[in-house]
Amino acid sequence: MLTYLIILLDDTSTSYCHYEVNRKERRLISLEDLRAGIVFAMKENLNVQFVYPDYELPAEYLEAIDSIDHTDIKPVGSNDGTDVVVLDGWKGKPAEGSTCIIRCSRQELSDNLPTLTGWLSSVERLNIVLTDVEAFSDDDIGSYKETLETLADSLADMYKAGKPVQVNLLTDRLILKEMNNCGAGDNSVTLAPNGKFYICPAYYYGDEEQSVGELSSGLNIKNAQLLRLDHAPICRQCDAYHCRRCIWMNSRLTMDANTPSHQQCVVAHVERNASRYLQQKLQEKGIQLSNSYEIAEIDYLDPFNIVNRWK
C-alpha cells in the first residue's frame, strides 16, 4: 500500500541512495506542480519527503512545503533543522544529534572508517549507502566483512558507554523479524521536477520516459504486483531483513525488477552476518536489547545457492 511520496524539488536535488544525480543545470519543480503534489499526498494520506538541492529555495516554495507535515532531506551544509542530512563522500560533517546518510564506495568506507566511527558519538542515526554494490566481487567479501566487524566493535563500545547510536547496516537487522525493504513502487513513489511520477528517483535520472503517471492523470504502475515481496520467490524466503532489495539495481543487473543480483544478495548477507557479530559482542558486554531478535548462523551468502532447501 502506498505510504510515502518523495518530491524531488530540483533536477540537482541531492541523491540519498545508490543512484547518481547526472543533472548539472537547475530545474526547479514548478510551484503549481509542487502544490498539486502536496494536495495529492493529502488526498492519498501519504507521508511526504522533500529532497532538496544545495541552494536556497524561493520563499513561496518554502511556504508551500510548510503547509504539510513532511521530512526534509538536504545535502550537508544546509542542515540547520534538517531531518536528514546527506554527505556525498567525506567532505563535511554531520550536525550534532542528526540523522545522517553517507554515500560512498566500499573502499572509501574502509579507508575512512576512523572518520566515520568518530561521528558515532554525535549522530543519532547513520545510514551508509554503498554506491558501487554492482561492482562488488567475491574477492571483496573478506575486506567488507572486516570493515563491518571493526565498525561493530566500535558500536558495541558506544552501547556499553550508554550511547545506542543506530547504523543501518548493523543495527537494523537486530530489531527486524520481517523484510523492511525500500518498497519503491509499492509503498513509495516519486514526483519529479517535470511533474511526472516515477517508481523512484533513480528511474527519473536514468530515463525520463520511464514515468508511471502524471499529476493530471494519476498513477499508472503497470503490473505493480511484480514489484512486491509476495511476488519475489527468493526474497520472501530470505532473512536478510534489512536488505534494500533495490528494484532499480535489480532491473539493471538481472533484467527483472523483483529479482536481486548476486552482488546485492552477497552484500546484504555479509551485513546480516556482521549484525550477528555485533549481537554477540553486545551480549559479551552484558547488553541485551529488549526489542532484538536472535540472528541464526547460516552457511551461505547467496540465497539462490540454497533454493533446493525450500522445495
Strands 99-104, 125-130: pairing is: parallel
Mean local confidence (pLDDT), 25-48: 97
Q: Is the pLDDT at 113 greater than 90, yes or no?
A: yes
Task: Please tell me the predicted confidence (pLDDT) of residue 89.
Answer: 84
Buried b (16+ CB within 10 A) or exposed e, 272-283: bbbbbbbbebbe
- 62: its cell numbers: 518554502
Q: Is the pLDDT at 77 greater than 90, yes or no?
A: no
Confidence band of 195 (pLDDT split at 50, 70, 90): very high
Task: Please tell me the predicted confidence (pLDDT) of residue 308.
Answer: 79
Q: In whole angstroms, what is the distance from residue 217 CA to residue 132 CA? A: 36
Task: Please tell me the predicted confidence (pLDDT) of residue 110.
Answer: 96
Q: What's the whole-model pTM score?
A: 0.94
Confidence band of 148 (pLDDT split at 50, 70, 90): very high
